[in-house]
Structure 1
Amino acid sequence: MKLRITDPTAIAVDREILSLRAEDSTGSFGILPGHADFLTALEVSVVSWREADGKVGYCAVRNGILTVSGGTDVAIATREAHVGDDLQELETVVLAGYRSHVEAERTGRTAAAKLRMQAIRRMVEALQGGPSEIGL
């Protein structure tokens, strides 16, 4: 099978593999040659694969989309990819960083939604001649 992992700036992995393991919201799963066409959203996790020479490869991904086409092509598009040989480092250092990015993005979206709601309330109050009309 052909594996290609890309992020917005680069192709992180482009090689022939025998098998792949990844993780989506339902848990861990495997892909072997001949797999049915497949599409899933990946979690922050480490994707692993086995090459023809028996070597195991690892790539930490910050979410993403995995597709299998024709049972021979596996493609992963992710926000961020970090290839490494040390599984322990990827799981502790890199994934922790990815998770903190995800949490910061979530916090930012929540704060932006609150600001939009405050602005809408003030506009409605101003249009109705309410108390915030003077404060604007």
Structure 2
Amino acid sequence: MRLLLTDPVRVIADHGDVVALRAEDASGAFGILPGHADLLTLLAVSVLSWRRADGRPGYCAVRGGIMTVRGGREIAIATREGRLGDSVEALERTVLADFLAAADAERTERVAEAQRHLRVIRQVVRILHAGHDSLGLSS
């Protein structure tokens, strides 16, 4: 199978001889072998691992992403950020913690932004309601 792994600015890995891939999405870890059914899934912050036809392994920590499998022969992964490494353990120790911290910070910022928007909307509703009342239109 061909594995094409990219981030927004570069090709991280492009191998035409992958015989197995392990990935993780919200439902858990899963494997892809030649002939796999077509698939589209959102990857979790995790470490991908694969094996090439000559037995060489490959590992990449990904900060989430989108994975597609087409025709049982092509695996395409687009991630926000990916870092190759020599072992799952090394990537889990060093990179995964950074990626998880970044994901938590992004979630915290999204919540704060949503709260700011909600405060603005509430203020606009109060102003509109006050204007409505000043015109003697209240019920």
Do they superpose with TM above 0.5?
A: yes
Distance in 1 separating the partners of 2:101 and 2:47: 16
Q: Shift in Å at residue 87 of structure 1?
A: 2.2
Counterpart of 1:126 in structure 2: which amino acid? I
**Any idea what SS the aligned residue of 2:76 has?**
strand
Residues 1:87 and 2:76 are matched in the alignment: no
Give 1:41-80 correspondences, 5 Å limit. Answer: 41-80=42-81
Tell me the distance in 2 between the aligned counterparts of 1:69 and 1:58.
Answer: 21
Instruction: Give the counterpart letter for 1:86 in structure 2.
Output: S
Give the Å deviation of 1:36.
Answer: 1.2
- 1:108 to partner: Cα distance: 0.4
* Contact 2:49–2:88, Cα closer than 8 Å, also in 1: no
TM-score, normalised relative to structure 1: 0.90
Is 1:4 the counterpart of 2:7? The answer is no
Instruction: Tell me how far apart the structure 2 counterparts of residues 27 and 118 of structure 1 sit (CA, whole Å).
Output: 37
Deviation at 1:86, TM superposition (A): 3.0
* TM-score, scaled relative to structure 2: 0.88
Q: Which runs of 5+ in 2 are unaligned?
A: 132-139
Partner of 1:127: 128
Determine the structure 1 residue equivalent to 2:136: none
Tell me how far 1:34 sits from its aligned partner.
1.1
| Structure 1 residue 114, shift from structure 2 partner | 1.0
Indicate the residue corresponding to 1:18 in structure 2: 19
Partner SS, residue 130 of structure 2: coil
SS of the residue 1:128 aligns to: helix
State the Cα deviation string for residues 66-93 of structure 1 (Å, max 9, x = none).
1111111111111111111132221121
Q: What fraction of aligned residue pairs are identical, expressed as a percent?
A: 54
Question: CA-atom RMSD, angstroms?
Answer: 1.3
Aligned residues: 130
What's the offset of the Cα at 1:125?
Answer: 2.0
State the shift of 1:128 in Å. 3.1
Instruction: Give the Å deviation of 1:122.
Output: 1.7
Counterpart of 1:21, as a letter, is R
